[in-house]
Chain A
């Protein structure tokens, strides 16, 4: 039987880059094909070509044995292709039904009233058929991220798509939501929908897909059935060399407390108390991992610790010195390094050259400042050194940092924060959106800092990251720290349960542990 979709020799050039180099792809009916590759490998370009957002320079697209020209998303939809973007294309103030209708509004003639009820009925039908469980009358703004993604899927199914493209769909989901998504996708597959699933997470690719295609630097470098593949081999194909998937680390040499947080209260922009009486202590030479699903107050918690948000109550000290509501500059002076959650918004000045980004929080001090003047020579000298030491891939120190890949941008931040003596490192989602190679590197750097006696506060929604790096784990749920445990005492499943709201005791009882110690001893 002919494949549902075939791409032949797709080639796309951008100025200076060969984004897709004669790519061939086959998608069978009722199959989940994973497209695996690092950021910038060309996965998204290929899918954008398929969806009509880019025009290929060469190659052809064949759908059900027929050659087609796709000149825009409208053509793609007509051919039964639907795409769920990483960033949702939904209007928050409208209802689910209205969002689904948008762009395809059917109306009663002659007065052109929207057929809301008919569409809502169809949504209920689709919902039941695929186990999507979405209320058609709910406003999108009231829905959780996971449900919003289902609305996107319904939007696509409503337009009768039978080829579904999902671009990094789990990036925004909690582990539980991701599991639910996988269930939905398996059910769709059973009903004959063919799915292309873009990802750079090895574990979920192996869990979900039937077949994996690995893309590196615009070329297909490998294709395999998932049952024949393992993580290490896929990672190697993806990066082009052997990668360490887990960080080698010795036992922590725990020293004196560095950061002490007592009863911290912080509000978000809507004046909700989202950090609700948090107390924590981080010692020199240890990694304290704060685990939690996005939106449980971690963002505001970190902002308060780094001087970007006002502390409403409580006390923060570093080595006994009160730094509650200190300014970012005072904290830098006190030896705090901060790897911010949103590197492009907070951590970098994208228009500035790489060299200048190395000094955005130290430019006012010698040797970079000489009186009122900027000392270019010192900045240039440091830039050359850091680019070399941290292996930052950039044509020169003077191109805007926006030209660098995400992984290299993050390396710029890490290099900058590690270029001065520090006592405390606050890292918020330090590897979000990065490829395997960069993740390995950043993790190793964090552990090196720990071993050098720095207190590391790691905040992450990636369970693997928390489990792999932390010496102790604190779970944050609804603005409170619900548990602090030794990392060795708990399993991934148990932390996952706590992230979803279980207490430590419940989690220890419900899921298999990894510690031999009795529950009572851990509690």
Chain B
């Protein structure tokens, strides 16, 4: 057999492969996008019909039908307008660009970029935490302990960050980041070890590990506690040599280098899962535990590895938030981020690219919601409801398929998160 025929066959097959992949990609995107859209529509209705002005206008619907519709429209427009300008501010950026191109200064532009930059900044810890959950799902493990692991990561990195003065930044900062990585890894590895060697289910043990670290941190941070800042129940401030630098000096723009770290880590996780031997094992373990045993994988070791790495990624979420944005840790540091990350791993279908997109969406919504609250006086909870609805639609895709008359794609892969746990 000659070589050219082999290579021709191979290239033909890779064509088939890429075609197949692109159709998979579309079907993987349609449901999440429609889920987000539908959730925003329902959110709009909630905004309108909790607005007293709208309700009054509707009471008079038969007298003035246009008035009722206008009031509804206005209410939604103001709220979502504030959400958009507070999270992206594209109109403002466009105007400021105009000023700058016509010879004006850059001050207007740098102010206009603040909302967008803040949205990216808010997304950073979500990317890490979402990757942590997604990695677990890929390996058939449900890591609910991200909330605790990121707190461990933040505490460890901040401790290193304030406790070793006099180091140059190129030593101190990597040290602090490593401390957060390792802290999270240890906190994640414990449930992994418990699962491997005692059979303790990670759903139970990770939840309990959350409670343990929350209580330990209360002791560490209480006034006079080992990590408290004198009279305040928070840690001392991280030394400048351990801070992740913020890249702009504009007031209110906290965009920092951690964003690029997050993107690099997401690419590394993608490589690990889809290009490496280890990733092949992880995905096999998640897809069919029994076949993984049959194929000769040391399942116990792999469980510990996946949980440790998942915890480490969660630790990085806390680390970047603490070293770049907050620069100290207090009680309530994580604020439910670990649980939101479960939602966004589901939204991102446990794929690193999906997770990054989902995290950007969540960061944008969160950031815009703050603005919406101050401008339109819409409670931030509306966005919590929108996020919850997104997840409901992702978890029950039949709703979306029914609403938009979509066909069930043939031979669709069931999402990774529906295996193993809960049985």
Is the A/B pair a real complex?
yes
Which A residues fall within an 8 A CB radius of B?
15-16, 306-308, 327-332, 338, 340, 345-352, 356, 360-361, 363-364, 369, 372-374, 377, 380-381, 383-384, 396-400, 402-403
A347-B291, A373-B277, A374-B275 known; A329-B13 Cβ under 8 A: no
Chain A residues with Cβ below 8 Å from B276 are 372-374
> Are B411 and A380 touching (Cβ within 8 A)?
no
Residues 273-316 of chain B, each 1 if its beta carbon lies under 8 Å from chain A, else 0: 00111111101100110111111111000000000000000000
A380-B13, A384-B13, A402-B411 known; A372-B278 Cβ under 8 A: yes
Query: Which candidate, B14-22, B183-191, B372-380, B395-403, is the interface stretch facing chain A?
Result: B14-22
> Are B287 and A396 touching (Cβ within 8 A)?
no
B381 on the interface (CB 8 Å rule)? Answer: no
> Are A399 and B284 touching (Cβ within 8 A)?
no
B410 on the interface (CB 8 Å rule)? Answer: yes
Interface residues of B in 409-423 (CB under 8 A from A): 410-411, 413-414
> Are A400 and B413 touching (Cβ within 8 A)?
yes
- Closest residue on chain B to residue A16 by CB atoms: B410
Chain B residues with Cβ below 8 Å from A373 are 275-277
B103 on the interface (CB 8 Å rule)? Answer: no
> Are B277 and A363 touching (Cβ within 8 A)?
yes
> Are A369 and B277 touching (Cβ within 8 A)?
yes
- Closest residue on chain A to residue B17 by CB atoms: A398
**Contact pick for B294, options A15, A338, A381, CB 8 Å:** A338
Chain A residues with Cβ below 8 Å from B13 are 380, 383-384, 396-398
B7 to chain A, nearest CB (A): 9
Interface size class of B (residues with CB under 8 A): 20 to 34
A308 to B296, CA, bound (A): 9
> Are B295 and A360 touching (Cβ within 8 A)?
yes
> Are A400 and B411 touching (Cβ within 8 A)?
yes
B247 on the interface (CB 8 Å rule)? Answer: no
Chain A residues with Cβ below 8 Å from B277 are 363-364, 369, 372-374
Known contacts A340-B294, A347-B294, A403-B411; 18 additional CB pairs below 8 A are A16-B410, A327-B298, A328-B295, A329-B295, A329-B296, A345-B288, A349-B292, A351-B414, A363-B277, A372-B278, A374-B279, A377-B10, A381-B10, A396-B16, A396-B17, A396-B20, A398-B16, A398-B17
Chain A residues with Cβ below 8 Å from B288 are 345, 348-351
**Contact pick for B287, options A306, A329, A350, A384, CB 8 Å:** A350
Chain A residues with Cβ below 8 Å from B168 are none
Chain A residues with Cβ below 8 Å from B281 are 363
B63 on the interface (CB 8 Å rule)? Answer: no
Interface residues of B in 232-253 (CB under 8 A from A): none
> Are B280 and A374 touching (Cβ within 8 A)?
yes
A369-B277, A373-B276 known; A384-B9 Cβ under 8 A: yes
- Closest residue on chain B to residue A357 by CB atoms: B291
Chain A residues with Cβ below 8 Å from B292 are 349
A283 to B277, CA, bound (A): 36
B6 on the interface (CB 8 Å rule)? Answer: yes
A292 to B276, CA, bound (A): 43
A60 to B178, CA, bound (A): 71
A56 to chain B, nearest CB (A): 20
A503 to B306, CA, bound (A): 53
Chain A residues with Cβ below 8 Å from B413 are 351, 400
Chain A residues with Cβ below 8 Å from B14 are 380
Chain A residues with Cβ below 8 Å from B296 are 307, 327-332, 361
B144 to chain A, nearest CB (A): 23
A349 to B294, CA, bound (A): 11
Chain A residues with Cβ below 8 Å from B291 are 345-349, 360
A369 to chain B, nearest CB (A): 5
A511 to chain B, nearest CB (A): 39
Task: List the 10 shortest-distance A-B pairs measured between CB atoms, nearest first.
Answer: A329-B296, A328-B296, A360-B295, A361-B295, A349-B288, A351-B287, A346-B294, A396-B16, A349-B287, A398-B17
- Closest residue on chain B to residue A372 by CB atoms: B276
Chain B residues with Cβ below 8 Å from A380 are 10, 13-14
Chain B residues with Cβ below 8 Å from A351 are 287-288, 413-414
